């Protein structure tokens, strides 16, 4: 089989560092028991691994209390816990056109069924939201601003700190979707004025699927919108109020937490700035190569200063899906095509009318050869298309 070139790290990173596979296998075989339910030794070992991972991630996000780091299934699950637990009937929330459906859909669900007003902020021609646009929409009943840290379509890093400053002045909760950014660029909850941050384990934190979570700043309370077993204080009739139990339900994904633990340690060992620096260099190569090709349109890639390694493009005259199929079948290059769960990005760019874009997502294991191969492949596809057009 031809060597597969994996350029779909925006969806999930692959492969994972060897340490992640080893940690999951070892943990599951040696102590894959239910922590917090009993006091025997294995249970204590499993529990310590969970607590160590809470501490690791709390430090990673510059939080202060590991108990306020809660585990959920993924970023979508974490964002649902936050959004449904922060808003109630009569509240107003603001999000943006850059956001992913895991923010937009819970908000629009509450708009449709829960009496919550929702406003959307557009992004500028380069793919950045203006903090003042949020401030302009603040009302007496504004309770939440929910914003994507890094776009999963065009890769732009949003000015979270400035948005946070404006929210703090008004006592509005700032929820940040860090699904794309966590593990790529630093997240400092205190410095960036973030109240609640949602992360996923399987992207740049280099862990497996099925694990993610939230960090909830002290002083911010999220109502529990589910209830069930926590393994502790079972005689209490309703779900526990204290963190982390407040937002955790049932048996946790232990192998997932073990893998995430190893993934975060790998990121720290490599160094986030090293990973991001390498990726930015490759992104520059990719952007420069693609923009030389006749018939290729790039979206919001003029200045790469505040970008992660995610790049959206189209080949003139081709549906994104067809370009993706050719890359896969003819060149063994993986990518993602379509709307990428972020329909408003495409609506604003006008790419909704042509069924979205092709997206390359770079990861820590990509090389300059991968990028050269991608540029060559897109070049050949575009030239064939131009020839067909000329006939
Ligand atoms: C910006 C953004 N938010 C949220 C999510 C959802 O993450 P998960 O699939 O882990 O729930 C994604 C995943 O693609 C994303 O890119």
pTM for this model (two decimals) = 0.97
Lowest mean pLDDT among 208-212, 284-288, 350-354: 350-354
Specify the ligand 1 atom closest to the Cα of 340: 14
Residues 127, 97, single domain; the answer is yes
Residues 31, 80, single domain; the answer is yes
> Burial level of 309, CB count in 10 A (0-12/13-18/19+)?
buried
Tokens standing for residue 214: 């939230």
Query: Is it the case that residue 349 has pLDDT exceeding 90?
Result: yes
CATH number of the domain within which 191 lies: 3.40.640.10
User: What is the spatial distance between Cα 8 and Cα 327, in angstroms, rounded to a whole number?
Assistant: 12
Q: What integer is the mean pLDDT of 229-247?
A: 92
Distance of CA 146 to the CA centre of its chain: 13
- Domain range spanning residue 149? 18-269
Measured by CA distance, the residue closest to atom 12 of ligand 1 is 179
* Cα dist from 151 to 157, 165, 343, whole Å: 7, 21, 12
* Cα dist from 335 to 201, 323, 357, 361, 367, whole Å: 20, 10, 10, 7, 16
Question: How many domains does the structure of the chain reveal?
Answer: 2
Distance 313 CA to ligand 1 centre (A): 20
Residues 242, 289, single domain; the answer is no
The residue among 233, 254, 269 that closes a domain is: 269
CATH number of the domain within which 381 lies: 3.90.1150.10
User: What is the spatial distance between Cα 98 and Cα 152, in angstroms, rounded to a whole number?
Assistant: 9
**pLDDT tens, position by position, 127-148:** 999 999 999 999 999 999 999 9
**pLDDT tens, position by position, 28-58:** 999 899 887 778 888 899 999 999 999 999 9
Residues 104, 123, single domain; the answer is yes
Q: What is the bridge-based pairing of β-strands 212-216 and 196-200?
A: antiparallel
By residue count, the chain amounts to 391
Specify the ligand 1 atom closest to the Cα of 200: 10
Band of pLDDT at residue 1, cut at 50, 70 and 90:
low
**pLDDT tens, position by position, 2-20:** 689 999 999 999 999 999 9
The pLDDT value recorded for residue 231 is: 85
**pLDDT tens, position by position, 191-228:** 999 999 999 999 999 999 999 999 999 999 999 999 99
Residues 251, 287, single domain; the answer is no
Band of pLDDT at residue 306, cut at 50, 70 and 90:
very high
Measured by CA distance, the residue closest to atom 2 of ligand 1 is 179
Residue in this structure with the two tokens 């859909």, named with its chain if needed = 105
Residues 64, 151, single domain; the answer is yes
Residues 258, 289, single domain; the answer is no
Straight-line distance from the first to the last Cα atom of the chain, in angstroms, rounded to the nearest whole number: 34
Q: Is there an atom of ligand 1 within 6 Å of 180 CB?
A: yes
């Amino acid at each position: 089989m031809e060597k597969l070139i994996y350029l779909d790290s925006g969806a999930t990173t692959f492969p994972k560092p060897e340490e992640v596979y080893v940690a999951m296998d070892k943990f599951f075989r040696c102590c894959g028991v239910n922590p917090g339910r009993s006091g025997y030794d294995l249970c204590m070992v499993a529990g310590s691994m969970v607590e160590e991972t809470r501490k690791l991630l709390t430090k990673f996000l510059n939080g202060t209390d590991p108990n306020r780091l809660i585990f959920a299934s993924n970023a979508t699950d974490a964002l649902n816990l936050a959004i449904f637990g922060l808003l109630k009937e009569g509240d107003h929330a603001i999000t943006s056109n850059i956001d992913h459906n895991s923010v937009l859909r819970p908000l629009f669900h509450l708009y449709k069924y829960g009496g919550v007003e929702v406003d959307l902020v557009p992004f500028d021609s380069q793919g950045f939201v203006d903090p003042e646009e949020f401030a302009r929409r603040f009302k007496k009943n504004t309770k939440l601003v929910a914003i994507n840290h890094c776009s999963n379509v065009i890769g732009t890093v949003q000015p979270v700190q400035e948005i946070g400053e404006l929210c703090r002045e008004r006592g509005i909760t700032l929820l940040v979707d860090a699904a794309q950014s966590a593990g790529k660029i630093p997240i400092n909850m205190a410095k960036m004025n973030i109240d609640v941050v949602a992360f996923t384990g399987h992207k740049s934190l280099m862990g497996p699927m099925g694990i993610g979570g939230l960090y909830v700043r002290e002083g911010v309370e999220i109502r529990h919108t589910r209830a069930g077993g926590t393994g502790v204080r079972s005689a209490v009739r309703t779900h526990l109020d204290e963190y982390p139990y407040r937002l955790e339900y049932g048996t946790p994904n232990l192998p997932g937490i073990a893998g995430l633990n190893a993934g975060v340690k790998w990121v720290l060992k490599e160094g986030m700035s090293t990973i991001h620096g390498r990726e930015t260099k490759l992104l520059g190569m990719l952007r420069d190569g693609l923009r030389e090709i006749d018939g290729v349109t790039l979206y919001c890639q003029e200045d790469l200063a505040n970008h992660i390694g995610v790049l959206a493009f189209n080949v003139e005259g081709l549906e994104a899906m067809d370009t993706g199929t050719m890359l896969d079948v003819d060149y063994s290059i993986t990518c993602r095509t379509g709307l990428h769960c972020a329909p408003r990005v495409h609506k604003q760019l006008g790419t909704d009318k042509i069924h979205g874009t092709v997206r390359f997502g770079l990861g820590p294991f990509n090389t300059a050869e991968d990028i050269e191969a991608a540029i060559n492949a897109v070049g050949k596809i575009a030239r064939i298309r131009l020839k067909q057009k000329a006939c």
